[in-house]
Structure 1
Amino acid sequence: MRIEKIEVFHLRLPMKFAFKSSQASLMHRETLVIKVTDELGNSGYGEVVAFNEPFYTRETLPQSKELLLKEVLPHLLQKEIQHPFEIHSWPDMIYPMTGAGVENALLDGFARRHHQSIMEIIFDEETQDTIYGGMVLGDLDLTTLLTEIEKYLREGYIRFKIKIKPDDGFAKLKAIRARYPDLMLLGDANRSFKADQIPELLKIDELGLICLEEPLGFGSLSAYQRLQEQMTTPLCLDESIQTLEELMGAVELRACQVVNLKVGRVGGLAYVKQMIEVCRKHKVHYWIGSMMETGISKILHVHLASLKDNYIPGDLSSSRRYFARDVIQPEIVVQKGRIHVPKGPGLGVEVDEEALLYYSIDHRVLD
């Protein structure tokens, strides 16, 4: 296919509440949406999910936007693309979230051109028609946490991830476990524990978590190896794994038992597929995260979560939990705890361009 037109929408979406982790608090989500159109008029959409500040990974949204507009997208315009994965060999594809956004847009257009879903293009295996949603709760006070858990249990959610920090993370998780002894529960520390706080981490072992995500704010994969040797709770790596090489290093060291996979963080679906293959080969569990993204990116995670050997339900909840209006139709909806996996061509959903323009603070067109 030949790309004849490219659009970049810089969105700023107000969030319905402040989402807090140990590293940041967000009231708005800025993101970039890329739209590519080929010579036959097929369009595809992808999202660059980097944050404005480098609290999650080093890549930032301003860096991504500059690279896209100055180098990557001019190179793509009028380019003959045999398969979207070929862009990963380009020398200017230096940022993973930027590369993922471009790849995802091309994959959506490529799949629509061939009247196939994205999963049919990438995975030749049976998937589930519906998946369980998973709730992520930020760094809230305990009373609010317990209220929120009760609320979302009534909506059918069965798996809860709690953002924690060293000074009160164990106490919160212990209180939740006492109230809900059978709850599918995990903690996410976002690299907030220091070396002298390891004893506090070891106390978490008594709580029966399904995993503990990214606790360490120091050291390397060898530090995780040493911690995993001391803990029965499975350690889950997220932002520590951005490349296939880093995943292989973690596997070889036995630094974790679980990996959280996010399309943007690892650079695109080409790399997600390779990482899933590595996890399957080495018997490391994987499951699907999310980036507080619009439905353009999140629906890809819904698709991936439909693979039958996911370890646990992913970080996937209704679009309306975060935003008053999403940019896809139909929006992602959790009903009785489950999400329907769309089966149409490409992403399986349509992009609401009126919503894109409504949220846009900058709109560029290359043709």
Structure 2
Amino acid sequence: MSSALFSPITLRNLTLKNRLVVSPMCQYISENGSANDWHLMHLGSFSIGGFGLVMTEATNVNAVGKITHKCATLCTDDNEAAMKRVIDFSKKFGVAAQGIQLAHAGRKGSTQPPALGGQPLKPEDGAWETVAPSAVPYGPGWHTPRALTKAEIQQIQEDHVASVKRALRVGYDLIEMHAGHGYLTHQFLSPISNRRTDEYGGSLENRMRFALETFEAMRAAWPEDKPMGARVSATDWVAGGWTPEETVVLAKELRKLGCDYVDVSSGGLDPEQRIPLAHGYQVHLSQKIRNEADIKTMSVGLIADAQQAEEIIKTGQADFVCMGRGAMWDPRFPWHAAEIFGDEAPYPPRSTPCHPTLRPQLFPNRQKQDSK
């Protein structure tokens, strides 16, 4: 009997071969926002490893929206051409569908890469002015962002749409709006970072306005037969912040606008957060949103065990399991997990010589199963 983890699933016209997703992971190695040989290797390697979907890192819709100088953008012709080279390669030689997460860092921009400390840039390091819903810094010692005007809000939404159109030309199968991890869209959602008194602040309806308007505009620019989702932080893990209950309301509204899934993460908005890190610590949030908002969900966060991933899908806690660091640790995780369940993960033609059925000396039990 096939495992739940390796059962196919269809989102609009896109059928994924299994429920394993490579989560978008910032690489901090782009050049003027453009992908390079590292991305070719990084995404290409995952694409041949049997995952159903590989997500490109958070890719910013304009230069101000970058986290660091080395972050990816999709706002110039050079960005587009460089990313198309990577995705063309991944599709030609791989077996996975390709998705991209579109983002804007807001007040969490203009920083050093995490490997260099992740602290705000100084003027001599090329710092730039950050923007946010309100002039509230992320934390002590961080840049105080400039509060966006309504005209600037509209321009950022147009930038999201422009990046959607570029993503379509690149050849992506799926796009995801980043509304989590304390970045701009999340900043509008949370009362901790959103102190506005106009129609974009105050009530839950107003705080959701930027996210919903942006998603609706992106969805209108993306072909109807292609899926689109959103990543959210389901809770800020801070008293007085964004809550799981509010996330359910947001997910319901996104579903009405044509959102096909919600990628459920958490935190990232406030340095005072207290996250109870443990294996699968966000799975219960995915299950809550899936059940109460009646929408497909992805679960992510310290999931690296095949049995755990199978249980998450089998028991209806999520429809997909996303892996970031776990995928980096084992870029062939689907192949290895499939052997545990006696199931099949996809192999690209150039990788079939390593298939277990062609190495009976190492996989004698698999040979017996296949001969039945």
| TM-score bracket, shorter-length normalisation | 0.3 to 0.5
Q: TM-score, normalised by structure 2?
A: 0.42
RCO (CA 8 Å, sep 6+): is it higher in 1 or 2?
Answer: 1
What TM-score results when the alignment is normalised by the length of structure 1? Answer: 0.43
